[in-house]
Every structure is written in C-alpha cells, then in structure tokens.
Amino acid sequence: MANVVELKVGLHCNECIKKILKAIKKIQADIETYDIDTQLNKVTVTGNVSSEEVIRVIHKIGKTATTWGAEGDGVTC
C-alpha cells in the first residue's frame, strides 16, 4: 500500500527545486509519483516511503522540510 508524504519545503529558486528532485529520485524505495507545488512550497511523494525518509534526504542537501500542516513554515532557500 502506498504512503502519501506531504512536506513543506523552501522552493524559492529553480536550483532548489532541482536539488530536491535529485534527492527524492535517489531514495531507495518504490516511489510511484512525486510532485512539487511552488505556489504552496509543497512536496508530495507517493510510494513505499516514510515522511522521515524524505525529510532526511532533503535535510541532507541543506534544505528545511516539515510535515505539511506542522508548526513552522519550513521555508529556507
């Protein structure tokens, strides 16, 4: 069964988006889909993956990520 992971991430520039996409693609899990909404600063990943796993790879590239709806805005470029 697929999990849907929704995160708030700073998406201020194209370089940020490229880094995040590259990091998500490297996750060693069965990712079915992923989407980035630059208007909402929202990253959605669907597949056999946990929130913690996606947050970890995003933090590894120096970005701040929080679960969607959590306190704090998670916006840092």
Question: How does residue 70 score in pLDDT terms, banded at 50, 70 and 90?
Answer: low
Looking at residue 12, its pLDDT comes to 82
pLDDT bucket at 69, cuts 50 / 70 / 90 = confident
Q: SS3 for 44?
A: strand
Q: Decide if 58 contacts 74 (C-beta within 8 A).
A: no
Closest CA to 54 of 42, 65, 62: 65
For residue range 6-64, list pLDDT tens digits in order.
999 988 889 989 999 999 988 877 899 999 999 999 999 999 999 999 999 999 999 99
What is the spatial distance between Cα 1 and Cα 17, in angstroms, rounded to a whole number?
27
24 three-state secondary structure = helix
Q: How far is 4 from 46, CA to CA, in rounded Å?
A: 4
